[in-house]
Amino acid sequence: MDRYRVKPGSRVDLSQQDPNDKSAFPGGKREGRQQLLELNQRLEELQELLYAEHKQKVLIVLQAMDTGGKDGTIRHVFEGVNPQGVRVASFKKPTPEELDHDFLWRVYKQVPARGEIVIFNRSHYEDVLVVRVHGLAPKDLWSKRYDHINDFERILADQGTTILKFFLHIDIHEQKERLQARLDEPKKHWKFNPQDLEERKLWPKYIAAYEDAISKTSTDWAPWYVVPANRKWYRNLVVGTVIVETLQALNMRYPEPGFDPTAIHIE
């Protein structure tokens, strides 16, 4: 999965990243579905181990353009995983109370505790994305946030948090199809927001903001992955594989019991 990891200090050019790429899993959709089922099972076991060991913390950040597939990724990659061990934190437009604090205040409250996996559906990155594109804060403020974010994530990493950040990369044609599907299918109407069409007009500005954010904040302690996401099955496999491989590398162990199980007889 290294091919999708953004090397610290490198400059990302999203126009050079193919959202249709399927080079890591050339098998196709059907085989991909099977591979995802296997990943789901491994993730379920690893999550249980993480919870039992009660040492590591895992933070997964999901960012994407509208219709990029954040919700679908969470649903499919974590299918079958014990809901008690995984928490999703969604970041919406900040409340007045949140706006009265610094941008990391609401984020800090949601970071994972020991034994926990937390998925950020949007994140502190909105504060250098939508905020930048819409000028919701002055440039001299948001432009400092890249450093703030790197320091913040460094603190989390130094305290035992493993951080993975995914940008689900679709192209503007794919977004059109997905928005259209939300209009065509009555069961998807609730997902359609007319405001999304206004955001769509700002596509190039968002891409520029993403390129800056990803380039400036892909670090050894909190790497970004640019995931080809036009194909949903492929996107799920890439995200699932990165998470499973990362968890495996943590070399977790079930804790030793504080008693001798063979010496205990239950009447």
Greatest Cα pair distance in the chain:
71
Q: Is the Cβ of residue 50 or residue 149 nearer to ligand AMP in the bound state? A: 149
Query: What string of DSSP letters covers 180-249?
Result: HHHHH-GGGGGG--THHHHHHHTHHHHHHHHHHHHHHH--SSS-EEEEE-SSHHHHHHHHHHHHHHHHHT
Work out what residue 174 binds among ligand AMP, Mg ion, none; the CB cut-off runs from 5 to 8 Å by kind.
Answer: none
| Interface ranges with Mg ion (CB under 5 A) | 66
Cβ pair 44, 81 in contact under 8 A? yes
* For ligand AMP, the closer CB: 24 or 136: 136
Q: Which residues contact 46 (CB under 8 A, 6 or more apart)?
A: 244, 247, 248, 252
Closest to ligand AMP by CB, 91 or 146: 91
Task: For residue 115, state whether it binds ligand AMP (rule: CB under 6 A).
Answer: no
| Distance in Å, CB of 12 to ligand AMP, minimum | 20
**Residue ranges of E strands in the chain:** 57-64, 86-90, 117-121, 161-169, 224-228
137 binds, options ligand AMP, Mg ion, none, Cβ within 5 to 8 A by partner type: none
Footprint of ligand AMP on 54-113 (CB under 6 A): 91-94
Closest to 231 (Cα-Cα) out of 219, 223, 221, 239: 239
Name the closest residue to ligand AMP (Cβ).
Answer: 126
Site residues for ligand AMP, 119-148, by CB under 6 A, read 122, 126-127, 130-131, 136
Half-sphere exposure of 125 (CA within 13 A, CB side): 28
CB 77 to ligand AMP: min, Å: 18
Q: What are phi and psi of 226, to 5 degrees?
A: -95, 110
Strand partners, 104: none
Which option in ligand AMP, Mg ion, none does residue 93 bind, with CB closer than 5 to 8 A by kind?
A: ligand AMP
- Name residue, tokens 């998470």: 243
Q: Which residue's CB is nearer to Mg ion, number 125 or number 152?
A: 125
Nearer to ligand AMP, 71 or 211 (CB): 71
Which residue number, 116 or 126, has a Cβ lying nearer to ligand AMP?
126
- Residues forming the site for ligand AMP (CB under 6 A): 91-94, 122, 126-127, 130-131, 136
